[in-house]
Every structure is written in C-alpha cells, then in structure tokens.
C-alpha cells in the first residue's frame, strides 16, 4: 500500500509552504532544484527545508489534512511544527 504524506517546508524568506506527495525526498528535491516540477511559490523562495511531515493511507485523506493545515494561522502552524 502506498503512503501519502502531508509536508511543510520553510522557505528562505521564512514563509511556510504546505503540500502532499507520495515521495518526500523526490518532492523536496523538486522544490529545490527542478524549475518545471517545483511549485511557482517555492521556485522563487529557494532553498526550502522540510520542517514537518505526517503520513496518511490515501491521497484523499492527505488532501483533506492538507486543507485543514492550510486553514491554520501562522501561529497555529508554528505550534504544529513544535509538537
């Protein structure tokens, strides 16, 4: 069974970017090095550093959790990173 991951990266400008993937290592590499595969947001804010991840069993669960995290305030996200 493939696992899906929700991840948060901290960008060079100290902003936080949240996403989902089924391969964390590949995705972080894309954010840092691949102009076509990286998100437009992180492309302009390199390098990024992985600061949080959690796993889900399905893409649907990961997408729902990603949405929940994206609704959090900056302060709430920072608190999540420190747990």
Q: What domains, with CATH codes, occur in the chain?
A: 4-81 (3.40.1440.10)
Instruction: Provide the pLDDT confidence category of residue 1 given band limits of 50, 70 and 90.
Output: low
Q: Mind listing the pLDDT tens digit for each residue in 8-62? A: 999 999 999 999 999 999 999 999 999 899 999 999 999 999 999 999 999 999 9
**pTM for the model:** 0.94
The predicted structure's pLDDT at residue 67 = 98
Handedness of CA 14, 46, 36, 5 (dihedral sign): negative
Give the Cβ contact number of residue 55 at 10 Å: 14
The predicted structure's pLDDT at residue 2 = 72
The predicted structure's pLDDT at residue 83 = 80
SS3 16: strand
H-helix or E-strand spanning residue 24 = helix 24-33
Token couple for 37: 């595969």
Report how far residue 47's alpha carbon sits from residue 80's, in angstroms, rounded to the nearest whole number.
22
């Amino acid at each position: 069974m493939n696992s899906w991951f929700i991840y948060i990266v901290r960008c060079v400008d100290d902003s936080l970017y949240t996403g989902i993937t089924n391969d964390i290592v590949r995705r972080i590499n894309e954010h840092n090095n691949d102009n076509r595969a990286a998100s437009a947001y992180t492309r302009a804010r390199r390098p990024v550093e992985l600061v949080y991840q959690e796993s889900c069993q399905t893409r649907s669960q990961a997408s729902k959790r990603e949405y929940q995290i994206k609704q959090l305030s900056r302060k709430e996200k920072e608190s999540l990173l420190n747990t």
